[in-house]
């Protein structure tokens, strides 16, 4: 199974993996950053910082669950493209993603990752709400 962060989706996926004796592949996609060049904040600096945070979070998850096989894939790019690459690479049976809440303007202007994935997905998708407690 392939799972994307947030953390509650990972915890749910790990519980499920334990029950069915499955491997877990965690993908964390750092979106391309815009930055604020005029303020001295370069896009690459934001991307590197976000990638370091994702690596640290995945390491904490691995430490918390040493008895389950967890592969990980951190990348910078467009979430739907990178998630599809991970699914193909690992030949996943299910995709579990954590739903991020968005404000009203974002919902109007931006199609969600879930909607974009559904157009091309060929495996079951389980969406874990951000406020779900494992």
Confidence of residue 107 (pLDDT cuts 50, 70, 90): low
When mean pLDDT is compared across 5-14, 87-96, 112-121, the lowest value belongs to 112-121
When mean pLDDT is compared across 26-40, 60-74, 81-95, the lowest value belongs to 26-40
Contact between 91 and 120 under an 8 Å Cβ cutoff? The reply is no
DSSP state of 38: G
pLDDT score, position 102: 57
Contact between 35 and 42 under an 8 Å Cβ cutoff? The reply is yes
Domain formed by 2-128, architecture: 3-Layer(aba) Sandwich (3.40)
Cα 18–Cα 22–Cα 28 angle in degrees, nearest 5? 95
pTM beyond 0.85? no
pLDDT score, position 109: 45
Confidence of residue 30 (pLDDT cuts 50, 70, 90): confident
pLDDT score, position 111: 55
SS3 93: coil
Burial class (CB in 10 A: 0-12, 13-18, 19+), 14: buried
Would you kindly state where each structural domain of the chain is located, as residue ranges?
A: 2-128
- Per residue, the 3-state secondary structure of the chain, as one string, reads CEEECCHHHHHHHHHHHHHHCCCEEEEEEEECCCCEHHHCECHHHHHHHHHHHHHHHHHHHHHHCCCCCEEEEEEEECHHHHHHHHHHHHCCCCEEEECCCCCHHHHHHCCCHHHHHHCCCCCCEEEECCCCCC
Average pLDDT, the chain: 78
67 or 108, higher pLDDT = 67
104 has pLDDT over 70 = no
């Amino acid at each position: 199974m392939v799972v994307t962060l947030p953390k509650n989706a990972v915890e749910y996926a790990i519980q499920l993996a334990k029950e069915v004796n499955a491997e877990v592949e965690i993908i964390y996609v750092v979106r391309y950053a815009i930055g604020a060049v005029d303020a001295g904040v370069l896009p690459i600096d934001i991307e590197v910082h976000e990638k370091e945070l994702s690596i640290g979070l995945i390491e904490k998850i691995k430490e918390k669950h040493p008895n389950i096989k967890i592969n990980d894939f951190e990348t910078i790019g467009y979430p739907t493209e990178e998630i599809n690459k991970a699914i193909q690479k690992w030949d996943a049976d299910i995709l579990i993603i954590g739903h991020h809440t968005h404000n009203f303007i974002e919902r109007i202007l931006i199609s969600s990752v879930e909607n974009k994935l559904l157009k091309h997905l060929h495996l079951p998708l389980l969406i874990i709400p951000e406020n779900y407690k494992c």
